[in-house]
Amino acid sequence: MVTMNPDDARSRFLTDGELAWVHGPRRHELATVRLDESLRAGDVVLRDVAGAAPSEIVRVVKPDLDNRGRRNTALA
């Protein structure tokens, strides 16, 4: 679970209870977003996210579910 400021979540088009990618220095995984107005802008709280330690920088990104890894295989 990743807890973040509602303004930060809104700028990433994330809502409460939605899944988001958490990219850490060693790996990335999906986590549920929770909103907390007591957090300062730019701060996040991670719970049960492996591969991230305190004081490390992580990125929280909305998953691109429209693309899902499909590639255009047509030859030009």
Structurally, how many domains does the chain consist of? Answer: 1
Sign, CA dihedral 37-41-8-53, equals negative
List pLDDT tens digits, range 3-23. Answer: 999 999 999 999 999 999 999
Instruction: Give the tens place of pLDDT for each residue, 27-61.
Output: 889 999 999 999 999 999 999 888 788 888 899 99
The CATH number that applies at residue 16 is 2.40.40.20
**Parent domain of 13:** 2-61
Asked whether the beta carbons of 2 and 45 are under 8 A apart, the reply is yes
Asked, for residue 36, whether it belongs to a domain, the answer is yes
- pTM of the complete model: 0.78
